Amino acid sequence: MKNKTQIFILGAGMITPVGIDSNMTIASIQAGISKIEVTAEHDCYAEPFKLATVPEDALPPLNDKLNAQGLTSRYRRLLRLASPALIEVMQSYSEDEPLPLFLAGPETLPGRASVLQRSFIERLSIQTGVKFNQQLSRIFSTGRAGGFQAIDMVFRYFEATGADYALVGGLDTHLDLHLLGTLDRESRILTDDRKDGFIPGEAAGFLLLVSENARQRMGNVSLPELFMPGFGNESGHRYSEQPYTGDGLSEAVRLAVLSAKGRRVSTIFSSLNGEHFGAKEYGVAITRNSDTISENINLEHPADCFGDIGAAFVPVLSSLAIHQHINSKHNQSSLLYCSSEGALRGAMLIA
């Protein structure tokens, strides 16, 4: 699909382990503040897990109507995580018409059931009081790169309907004993004795996206523009028996830069979480796309501060890129990329 449609970011909202809103999260990351703590849960060697979680008192209680529905603890936590970030982003929306929500959620992994279904958006409306266009809303259970699929859907939605507004979101949490146990058995959680691993985190982020027509009606106001995402599939992903090739992320980055008409990238915002697999993949992708990426590239990998936030990465990284764009004296372009656990790889430019 050709990128004929222009899309801009009008508003953002997020909650992370280092901030209860966008401003606090950005300030914490700029200050190098980390929210990684030892918990009461233990791994298979009786060592306590290190996690990055949002403080309990920063989350609203679950709506009474939802309390009686027998929801899992992880599902309930996702609803509570989404609430502050969604309410923050909706402060930028002054229209009356309910918006479609294109939402990235926890990845559906081999042999495991999906965490979220379409009914999650209905429950999110009950939890927050925000009304959505339920018929048009979609959920993408593809983890870290799922937010790019959500943004890609907005491009298609605007192109097909002439709509001017849409919401994109992403949310995830590792605060689930079954999930932590699985990751521990796979030797993936970072510990004092295990150096090839990551810190499980949690977060929620939302973006309010608008068309060029809407931007012009606002007085042609200057807004960060995002370009159509690029995608690739890595045959040698974590749950595959195929050898790793590096083709997936390399292709995603190539297509993302191509859709932005060859803009040269000065900063990269990455879902790198500390695992060696991701570092190798990054190196291969940058080497193969070196003609469009500055030699003195600035690499940002904020998982150092708030852990691996899974499906929340795309909206959260976008918010960080927006802040840099607004405060930059130069016309810089930022590349965002994320790699899911399965084959999906995605990348996108913001300028």
Q: Per-residue pLDDT averaged across 255-271, rounded?
A: 93
Convert the pLDDT of each residue in 168-227 to its tens digit. 999 999 999 999 999 999 999 998 888 899 999 999 999 999 999 999 999 999 999 999
**Residue 2 in domain:** no
Q: What CATH number has the domain bearing residue 153? A: 3.40.47.10
Beta strand pairing status for 138-140 and 101-104? parallel
What per-residue confidence (pLDDT) applies to 294? Answer: 81
Q: Which of 191, 217, 243 is the last residue of a domain?
A: 217
Residue 177: count of CB within 10 angstroms of its CB: 11
Structural domain range at position 66: 7-217
Contact 85, 130 (CB under 8 A): no
Same domain, 30 and 85: yes
Q: Residue type for 28, please?
A: S
Contact 166, 95 (CB under 8 A): no
Same domain, 293 and 237: yes
Same domain, 296 and 163: no
**Residue 1 in domain:** no
**Residue 152 in domain:** yes
**Residue 97 in domain:** yes
Q: Per-residue pLDDT averaged across 277-296, rounded?
A: 92
Same domain, 143 and 242: no
Higher pLDDT residue, 139 or 194?
139
Q: Which of 187, 217, 247 is the last residue of a domain?
A: 217
Phi, psi of 197 (to 5 degrees): -165, 180
Q: Give the side-chain half-sphere CA count within 13 A for 167.
A: 33
Contact 315, 269 (CB under 8 A): no
**Confidence (pTM):** 0.96
Same domain, 163 and 243: no
Q: Give the side-chain half-sphere CA count within 13 A for 185.
A: 5
Contacts of 56 (CB under 8 A, 6+ apart): none
**Residue 222 in domain:** no
Q: Per-residue pLDDT averaged across 320-344, rounded?
A: 90
The C-alpha atoms of residue 156 and residue 325 are separated, in whole angstroms, by 25
Q: Which of 217, 239, 273 is the last residue of a domain?
A: 217
What per-residue confidence (pLDDT) applies to 224? Answer: 96
Q: Mean pLDDT check: name the lowest of 50-54, 182-186, 293-297, 302-306.
A: 293-297
**pLDDT for residue 84 is more than 90:** yes
**pLDDT for residue 121 is more than 50:** yes
Same domain, 202 and 237: no
**pLDDT for residue 295 is more than 90:** no
Percentage of residues of the chain with pLDDT beyond 90: 84
Residue 56 per-residue DSSP state: G
**Residue 251 in domain:** yes
pLDDT class of 1 with cuts at 50, 70, 90: very low
The C-alpha atoms of residue 249 and residue 228 are separated, in whole angstroms, by 15
Domain tally, the chain: 2
Contact 10, 319 (CB under 8 A): no
Same domain, 296 and 207: no
Higher pLDDT residue, 214 or 68?
214
Higher pLDDT residue, 266 or 44?
266
**Residue 57 in domain:** yes
Convert the pLDDT of each residue in 17-26 to its tens digit. 999 999 999 9
Q: Per-residue pLDDT averaged across 276-295, rounded?
A: 92
Burial (CB count within 10 angstroms: exposed 0-12, middle 13-18, buried 19+), residue 115: buried
Average pLDDT, the chain: 94
Q: Mean pLDDT check: name the lowest of 137-146, 236-245, 304-313.
A: 236-245
**pLDDT for residue 326 is more than 80:** yes
Same domain, 156 and 209: yes
What per-residue confidence (pLDDT) applies to 195? Answer: 86
What per-residue confidence (pLDDT) applies to 109? Answer: 85
What per-residue confidence (pLDDT) applies to 188? Answer: 94
**Helix (H) or strand (E) segment spanning residue 170:** strand 165-173
The C-alpha atoms of residue 78 and residue 309 are separated, in whole angstroms, by 12
Same domain, 199 and 284: no
Same domain, 283 and 141: no
**Residue 210 in domain:** yes
**Helix (H) or strand (E) segment spanning residue 350:** strand 344-350
Same domain, 211 and 264: no
Q: Per-residue pLDDT averaged across 131-154, rounded?
A: 99
**pLDDT for residue 40 is more than 80:** no
What per-residue confidence (pLDDT) applies to 330? Answer: 67
Same domain, 268 and 122: no
Q: Mean pLDDT check: name the lowest of 78-82, 191-195, 316-320.
A: 191-195
